[in-house]
Amino acid sequence: MAAPPSTPPAASGRLLVIYASQTGNAMDAAERVGREAERGGCPAVDVLPMDSFDPSCLPRERFVVFVVSTTGQGDPPDSMKGFWRYLLQKKLGARWLEGVGYAVFGLGDSGYQKYNFPAKKLDKRLLYLGAEPIIGIGLGDDQHPSGYEGALDPWLLSLWESLNKTTLSLLPRMSGIIHPDLSVLGDAKVEIIYYSSDEVQQEYNLSDSRKLIGRARSLSPALQFINNDGEPHYMLQMVTNQRLTKDDSDRDVRHFELENPSSVTSGITYQVGNALEILPSQNPSAIDSFMERCNLDPDCYITIRAKDRNKVSKGSLVNGFMDCIKLKTFVALTMDVASASPRRYFFEVMSFFATAEHEKEKLQYFASPEGRDDLYQYNQKEGRTVLEVLQDFPSVQMPFECIVSWHTPFKRTRHGLCSSWLAELNPNQENLIPCWIHHGSLPPPHPSTPLVLIGPGTGCAPFRAFVAERAAQRLLVFSCP
Ligand SMILES: Cc1cc2nc3c(=O)[nH]c(=O)nc-3n(C[C@H](O)[C@H](O)[C@H](O)COP(=O)(O)O)c2cc1C
């Protein structure tokens, strides 16, 4: 069998960075590790998603940095599961990774009970398998005032210092990391080909909106593993949007009803306790402002693809998105321009394109370790969006491929993008909502099983559903004290 493309020819002198990310943070962090290694003069660096690397090749590596986040209740990201299963095999003895130097950086949130569990377990397992730690594990914490970067900054510095000391050939230039040359920008990760609307009508058959939504959805690292068929199961119409809490209450709890307008008789098929996934839309005027700010032609079409397919996760970020699409639709479906804050590296990329000197200086400061706290204040704390940041620095004209490359698509936001969007919807008047139905985390109880409920703090939706179902069937025979 041919070796996978990410396999080195022999015991290699490269630095391999492997990441497992659920919503993009670990990917951003891993890319930073790769960039800094290059700046430090590392002769060969590869940054790969974990599911693109064949774990049986691990013993051939000389230096590996793992960047791993946590999801669920202390669970590994989906892209780590296969790799982790492989590592747990009994046949791999305590000397399997002899000669491999490794470092693990975990991303988590100390508000969770199982804080950074996958990274901690990985660190222990690698040690057991005979690998040698270059430095101790680093733990990034969402609770830190600067997020995971609060721990990543000092951890990376000690990683580079250690490699510089022990293996000069791998990291010869500490100065390149401490005083990076910000006039050099790495290659964009994607390439984009533009077409006018006339060309597209002649040469391409555009897919319908459900197909486009399905492909756009594959851009979210969190959703790539849910199912292969990304097209919405239903396009639903909101028919009821009722506020349950009083108008003067801080909490906005709502009752929504959705209907399938295309099949009045068959409705929607689901089991009690299933979960409904909804794709919210972005505010159309924010999309227009973003297009205008970036000088993008609202009528043009693009094809977009990763420059190096081997470095794209199996679930395919841009790999699955090769067809021609209207640029405006691409922005609306894949780029959260009006609610997510940009990443630190985005500021560095912006500084490269700033033509006003004072803007360049400010952006470079924000991107530096000294400016980290001020950036946090300006960016995350104030909840500035990509659009607002671009508007604050008007001299920056970034090519669209750079925005796509370094703005991680659809990040989680603190405002609850979906719930605020839903709350604003006007029943019966809005466009159709793309929806998917997934198995719930709990199987529905058998109708003959008595329900004894111990009220959970959060995640009570399936319990409510079970009770409501019993009530609808008039099978509810007990009452709460
Ligand atoms: C749904 C969800 C569950 C999480 N569960 C945990 C957890 O159990 N333990 C933990 O330490 N962090 C947990 N976190 C925090 C994430 O690990 C942290 O935000 C990390 O930066 C995400 O990295 P990623 O974007 O690469 O997936 C959770 C985050 C989310 C959104």
Of the pLDDT bands very low, low, confident and very high (cuts 50, 70, 90), residue 77 is very high
Instruction: Output the pLDDT for position 109.
Output: 94
Of the pLDDT bands very low, low, confident and very high (cuts 50, 70, 90), residue 6 is very low
Instruction: Output the pLDDT for position 409.
Output: 52
Which amino acid makes up residue 159?
L
Q: Using the structure block, give the residue that is written with the tokens 């001299």.
A: 395
How many whole angstroms from 163 Cα to the centroid of ligand 1? 29
Instruction: Output the pLDDT for position 229.
Output: 54
Contact yes or no for 373/433 (Cβ under 8 A): no
How many whole angstroms from 69 Cα to the centroid of ligand 1? 6
Residues 6+ apart with CB under 8 A from 401: 188, 190, 191, 192
Of the pLDDT bands very low, low, confident and very high (cuts 50, 70, 90), residue 313 is very low
Of the pLDDT bands very low, low, confident and very high (cuts 50, 70, 90), residue 308 is low
Around Cβ 431, how many Cβ atoms within 10 Å?
11
Of the pLDDT bands very low, low, confident and very high (cuts 50, 70, 90), residue 407 is low
Kindly state which CATH superfamily the domain 15-178 is placed in. Flavodoxin domain (3.40.50.360)
Is beta strand 275-278 parallel, antiparallel or unpaired with respect to 190-195?
Answer: unpaired
**Minimum mean pLDDT range among 73-77, 259-263, 383-387:** 259-263
How many whole angstroms from 128 Cα to the centroid of ligand 1? 25
**Beta-sheet strands, E only, within 181-328:** 190-195, 234-243, 254-259, 275-278, 301-306, 325-326
Around Cβ 362, how many Cβ atoms within 10 Å?
20
Instruction: Output the pLDDT for position 97.
Output: 97
Residues 6+ apart with CB under 8 A from 86: 55, 56
Atom number of ligand 1 nearest to Cα 26: 26
Choice between 1 and 327, residue whose per-residue pLDDT is larger: 327
CB-based burial of residue 434 (10 Å sphere; 0-12 exposed, 13-18 middle, 19+ buried)?
buried
CA–CA gap between residue 421 and residue 48 (Å, rounded) = 35
Contact yes or no for 80/66 (Cβ under 8 A): no
The pair of structure tokens assigned to 411 is: 């990040």
Average pLDDT, the chain: 82
Per residue, what are the HEC states of 359-392?
HHHHHHHHHCHHHHHHHHHHHHHCCCCHHHHHHH
Q: Of 11, 72, 97, 83, whose CA–CA distance to 313 is shortest?
A: 83
Mean pLDDT, to the nearest integer, of 44-61?
93
Around Cβ 174, how many Cβ atoms within 10 Å?
17
Q: What's 187's DSSP letter?
A: P
Does residue 112 line the site of ligand 1, with CB under 6 A? yes
Is beta strand 15-20 parallel, antiparallel or unpaired with respect to 63-69?
Answer: parallel
Mean pLDDT, to the nearest integer, of 15-25?
92
CA–CA gap between residue 76 and residue 277 (Å, rounded) = 21
Instruction: Output the pLDDT for position 430.
Output: 61
Around Cβ 282, how many Cβ atoms within 10 Å?
19
Res. 2: pLDDT tops 50: no
Query: What is the residue with the minimal CA distance to atom 29 of ligand 1?
Result: 71
Does residue 21 line the site of ligand 1, with CB under 6 A? yes
106 by DSSP, 3-state: which? strand
**CATH number at 344-409:** 1.20.990.10
Of the pLDDT bands very low, low, confident and very high (cuts 50, 70, 90), residue 311 is low
Contact yes or no for 431/242 (Cβ under 8 A): no
Contact yes or no for 247/237 (Cβ under 8 A): no
Does residue 220 line the site of ligand 1, with CB under 6 A? no
CA–CA gap between residue 271 and residue 465 (Å, rounded) = 10
The pair of structure tokens assigned to 122 is: 């990985």
Does residue 405 line the site of ligand 1, with CB under 6 A? no
Res. 320: pLDDT tops 70: no
Choice between 460 and 288, residue whose per-residue pLDDT is larger: 288
Atom number of ligand 1 nearest to Cα 22: 27
Mean pLDDT, to the nearest integer, of 222-240?
69
> Which residue from 19, 69, 80 has its CB within 8 A of the most atoms of ligand 1, so it is best to mutate?
69
CA–CA gap between residue 136 and residue 52 (Å, rounded) = 25
Does residue 114 line the site of ligand 1, with CB under 6 A? yes
Does residue 49 line the site of ligand 1, with CB under 6 A? no
Atom number of ligand 1 nearest to Cα 24: 25
Query: CA 170 → CA 6, 19, 135, 343, distances in Å?
Result: 19, 20, 15, 28
Choice between 447 and 243, residue whose per-residue pLDDT is larger: 243
How many whole angstroms from 383 Cα to the centroid of ligand 1? 20
Choice between 127 and 384, residue whose per-residue pLDDT is larger: 127
Quick: pLDDT tens for 191-226. Answer: 888 988 777 764 444 445 676 677 666 655 445 445
Instruction: Output the pLDDT for position 187.
Output: 74
Instruction: Output the pLDDT for position 205.
Output: 44
Instruction: Output the pLDDT for position 204.
Output: 45
Does residue 115 line the site of ligand 1, with CB under 6 A? yes
Does residue 147 line the site of ligand 1, with CB under 6 A? no
Query: What is the residue with the minimal CA distance to atom 19 of ligand 1?
Result: 108
How many whole angstroms from 25 Cα to the centroid of ligand 1? 9
Which pTM was predicted?
Answer: 0.75
Quick: pLDDT tens for 151-181. Answer: 999 999 999 999 999 999 999 999 988 888 7
Angle formed by the axes of helices 344-353 and 357-367, to 10°?
160
* Cα 159 off chain centre by: 25
Q: What's 427's DSSP letter?
A: T
CA–CA gap between residue 367 and residue 359 (Å, rounded) = 12
Return left, alpha or beta for 295; rule: phi > 0 is left, psi -120 to 50 is alpha, else beta: left
CA–CA gap between residue 223 and residue 228 (Å, rounded) = 10
How many whole angstroms from 230 Cα to the centroid of ligand 1? 24
> Which residue from 33, 78, 109 has its CB within 8 A of the most atoms of ligand 1, so it is best to mutate?
109
Quick: pLDDT tens for 423-480. Answer: 888 887 766 788 888 887 777 777 777 766 665 556 677 888 888 888 877 655 554 4
Structural domain boundaries of the chain?
Answer: 15-178, 190-334, 344-409, 450-481
Choice between 311 and 260, residue whose per-residue pLDDT is larger: 260
Choice between 471 and 246, residue whose per-residue pLDDT is larger: 246
Instruction: Output the pLDDT for position 30.
Output: 95
CA–CA gap between residue 30 and residue 28 (Å, rounded) = 6
Query: What is the residue with the minimal CA distance to atom 30 of ligand 1?
Result: 71
